[in-house]
Structure 1
Amino acid sequence: MTRTRREWGRVALAGTLALLAVLPGAAPTVAAAAGDGSPYAGALRANCAAYPGGATICSAQVPSFDGTPLDVDVTRPMSGTGDIHPLIVLLHGFGNDKHEWESTSEVADGADKYHWNSHWFAEHGYYVLTYTARGFRDNGPKASHQPSTPAGAAPTCLPPGGSACPPAGTIRVKNKDVEIRDTQWLAALVALAYPDINRNQVAVSGGSYGGGESWLQAAAQAGSEYWSDWPGLPRLRLQVAVPKYPWTDLAYALMPNGHPGGPSQAPAGEPYRGSDLYSSAQGAPDTPGVGNPIGVTKTSYIGGLYSLGTANGVFDEGSLSPQSNGPEPFTAWLARVDAGEPYSAPGRVDDPIMGQLRAAFSGWHSAYYQPGWRIGR
């Protein structure tokens, strides 16, 4: 039988994660010393239900590191799969929810979730953490293979449920200091709730919105002893990240092909004068104007994502004042993008709103600019 490239890719990924399940690592000790997270670890064991196919899912609303309620599911490894288990976090796409990678069979949708879902990993000895990302609602299962949330789960902030809970529980588009820490915090809570998790065998995977986070999580581990390190909670090491159709530079992904203008447009004395008219320029995320020019906005993408976010969640609406890392004014940023070019003021320096947007999307939401990105490559 001849395998397609996609099939070979799936075999390779499955092999990588199968290896994770048997890699030597220090066996986990009994639950870590009690800390702020310990009362919520019990909630991740309390409300559980068995589903067709043999999987058991436990569901709870638990506060994140900053107290924001998050809608969390844990799929337990099936019986007969060993005594010590790896943990994988499956991260959903933009506008979706925790159900995206959940399934009552290993087949799931028969496409990109075939043998890549909560059931398949539980069948192969994994704990699986799935949760609705901060700011998004949970609209329930969208396909017949997706399990419903076990009855009795605590109500969430905004109907119809999920993790949309203003003012803090808002969409931050995978901010390295917000959603990235949510995942690290929740993974540590799961490890506290289930002491048979090997803390040195953790993986993350996700598509699109979840793929962008997967890269950011990999960058967070690179160059650090621990990936998740919270007082009173188990310390975890991330061994594998499997991004699917992700971004590494969100600003460039949405506004690509910025260039300095070439010899006919660059003012005399600028370092880029005489450069190729079509050469791309990617500077540091806080490099203004000519050093890292804004490219062509993908208007349909940006507008579509914003509409999807407002339909299924709540965006953060921060200030346009200078800031380090949020809150972030997504609606104001969109209005400036929609107003169109020019995106720079006289002298070809970014106007304040576009400069803020670029610094945020590249510096706070993109793996490419994180210190661990180059260390880990």
Structure 2
Amino acid sequence: MPSFDGVPLDVDVTLPPSGDGPFPTIVMLHGWGGSKAMFESASASSAYSNVALASRGYAVVNYSARGWGRSCGVPASRTAGCERGWTHLADQRYEIRDTQYLLGLLVDQGIADPRALGATGVSYGGIQSLELAFLRDRVRLRNGKLVRWRSPKGRLLTLRAAWARWGTADLAGSLTLNGRISDARRARVGASWEPLGIPKQSYINGLYSLAAISAYLAPPGADATADLTTWKAITDAARETPAARSLVRELTRYHGAAGVADRRRAVAPLLIQNGWTDDLFPAIDGVYAYRLAGSGRRGFVALQIGDLGHPRAQTRLGEEGVFLRQGLAFFDRFLRGRRGGPGNGAVTAFLQSCPESTPSRPLRARGWDSLARGRLILASRASGTVTSDGGDPTVGRTIDPIGGGGACAAVTPTKAPGTLVLERRVRRTTVVAGLPTISMRVRASAGRAYVVARLWSVGRDGKMRLIGRGAVRLRAKQRGAVRFQLLGTGWRLAAGDRVRLELLGRDAPYLRPNDEEGFKVRVSRVRALLPVVGR
């Protein structure tokens, strides 16, 4: 069916087994590389699917996002109207408006209850779910203006609930790392702008390759709002240029929830899910969205964090079940008026565990700040030089999310050239859960320098496993104090284990190396604060 601008969308609507409507309605938004079929099932045995939700009394909308599947994605589907039907990368002016338009049509047809509209999605769909929640009752027009959301027949509409899984509110800040995004209570929009970040090279290459073979991409130069091929070339270059800064601002304003975040406005009730070991949209992205939403002070928001998401994550069935029950209860509460679900501001977290089959119980807290009140400190007055060619390249390949050994990959501890290492043995069982904070003094050479931090657990078997990572981009010849947070750590250290912090200037192939210029950074007065549960 044609969307608001005539682009044909491939849409399915699944109705409850009984009743005439209007029904509480949920849109299920697919991930990158997918289509409407991603969350469609022939039976309710697949709990996160159209049939399962319809069996609970919901009308369910599954559609292929523009530029994917048979919404102009597959060449055979490119009928009249597809001339400019390419993907716009979760753009509020296009993909998000498509969803709002479809819900409005169903309201006008008497199928969807205008007082009970919800959205959920995974990855690419999680990004869009966050945008819908932050827009809530607004629509972004193609000229960038925000107006009230109305159905085609003029009925005022509001989103009432969104469950955003494995998404991000700041796409530029997730695809590139500059170390300025954090869990600060007053979340700052535009933190990823200056300086420009280090590209997540292995992920960006994989995501673009998938789109190149599966999606309808705008021809280079044809559409400045959707020029993914040119955008990738700009990102690959990793240089501070006007084009690069313009791209980051485009992504922040129109392709993520941060672009519509407003401290004066409440978001739609929101449940956010991200993973400690997800190297694409990690725990820090979920916490940042939680903070942007007000941490429960401006409206309902709750947080789910586990060993799940994109690689290196493991996505274990046990925690999936707990989170799914929460998600269903969340929708029942806000779309059907029933009791249950997580409390406002609440955090439910499962730890990373190895081997994957290790049983795990959830941590529960009333808010992010109460999840881990204790601190484990690693500190050293020693100094050292990290270099752009430092570290063991074999280790880098082993912990790469694309093609590496996964979340439980074990390596032998070494002191590689061009690195600085701190270690501490723990005397008792210690649960680390949160965003470790690294502070140091630096003296950087010229060029595009950065410092990578890897946090390891060294077990009794003498092997170490990655339990946290992050990086901070430095300005040319930067000197002085630097502070940044890792992307997230949820790990249980056994008595006698060693926790190891490794600083280096390279994390390839995950992060883009700076081989063409090279750099050195003198590092001193290093201090790591690890958030600890119960002490």
- Which band: TM-score by shorter chain? 0.5 to 0.7
Task: Report the Cα offset of residue 328 of structure 1.
Answer: 2.8
Q: Deviations over 1:42-66 (max 9, x none)?
A: xxxxxxxxxxxxxxxxxxxx11111
Counterparts of residues 1-377 of structure 1 (less than 5 Å):
62-79=1-18, 83-108=21-46, 115-138=47-70, 158-161=74-77, 166-193=82-109, 195-221=110-136, 228-258=149-179, 284-285=189-190, 292-317=194-219, 319=221, 326-339=224-237, 341=238, 343-344=239-240, 351-372=241-262, 375-376=265-266, 377=293
AA at the equivalent of 1:119: V
* Separation in 2, partners of 1:186, 1:223: 15
Q: Contact (CA 8 Å) 2:67, 2:217: kept in 1 or not?
A: yes
Task: Report the Cα offset of residue 254 of structure 1.
Answer: 0.3
- Relative contact order, higher structure (CA 8 A, sep 6+): 1
* Separation in 2, partners of 1:83, 1:327: 38
* Separation in 1, partners of 2:74, 2:111: 34
AA at the equivalent of 2:178: N
Distance change >3 Å, CA 284–CA 206, structure 1 → 2:
closer
| 3-state SS of 2:92 partner | coil
More helix by share: 1
Distance change >3 Å, CA 365–CA 90, structure 1 → 2:
same
Task: Report the Cα offset of residue 213 of structure 1.
Answer: 0.2
Q: Contact (CA 8 Å) 1:70, 1:163: kept in 2 or not?
A: no
AA at the equivalent of 1:308: L
AA at the equivalent of 1:173: L
Q: Contact (CA 8 Å) 2:32, 2:124: kept in 1 or not?
A: yes
| 3-state SS of 2:198 partner | coil
* Separation in 1, partners of 2:80, 2:40: 20
Distance change >3 Å, CA 130–CA 333, structure 1 → 2:
same
Q: Contact (CA 8 Å) 1:208, 1:244: kept in 2 or not?
A: yes
Distance change >3 Å, CA 63–CA 82, structure 1 → 2:
closer
Q: Contact (CA 8 Å) 1:258, 1:293: kept in 2 or not?
A: no
Task: Report the Cα offset of residue 353 of structure 1.
Answer: 1.8
Q: Contact (CA 8 Å) 2:118, 2:160: kept in 1 or not?
A: yes
AA at the equivalent of 2:234: R
* Separation in 2, partners of 1:356, 1:92: 28
AA at the equivalent of 1:204: A
Task: Report the Cα offset of residue 124 of structure 1.
Answer: 1.2
Q: Deviations over 1:14-68 (max 9, x none)?
A: xxxxxxxxxxxxxxxxxxxxxxxxxxxxxxxxxxxxxxxxxxxxxxxx1111111
Identity of aligned residues (%): 32
Q: Contact (CA 8 Å) 1:82, 1:125: kept in 2 or not?
A: no
List alignment gaps of at least 5 residues for structure 1: 1-61, 109-114, 139-154, 260-281, 345-350
Distance change >3 Å, CA 317–CA 226, structure 1 → 2:
same
Task: Report the Cα offset of residue 352 of structure 1.
Answer: 2.1
Task: Report the Cα offset of residue 249 of structure 1.
Answer: 0.4
Using the size of structure 1 for normalisation, the TM-score is 0.61
Distance change >3 Å, CA 294–CA 254, structure 1 → 2:
same
AA at the equivalent of 2:246: Q
Task: Report the Cα offset of residue 137 of structure 1.
Answer: 2.2
AA at the equivalent of 1:133: A
Task: Report the Cα offset of residue 83 of structure 1.
Answer: 4.8
* Separation in 2, partners of 1:203, 1:295: 34
AA at the equivalent of 1:131: Y
Q: Contact (CA 8 Å) 2:101, 2:152: kept in 1 or not?
A: no
Task: Report the Cα offset of residue 158 of structure 1.
Answer: 4.8
Moved more, 365-374 or 353-362: 365-374
| 3-state SS of 1:204 partner | strand
* Separation in 2, partners of 1:63, 1:363: 26
Task: Report the Cα offset of residue 295 of structure 1.
Answer: 1.3
Distance change >3 Å, CA 164–CA 354, structure 1 → 2:
farther
List alignment gaps of at least 5 residues for structure 2: 140-145, 181-186, 267-292, 294-535
* Separation in 1, partners of 2:84, 2:245: 24
* Separation in 2, partners of 1:358, 1:229: 30
CA RMSD of aligned residues (A): 3.2
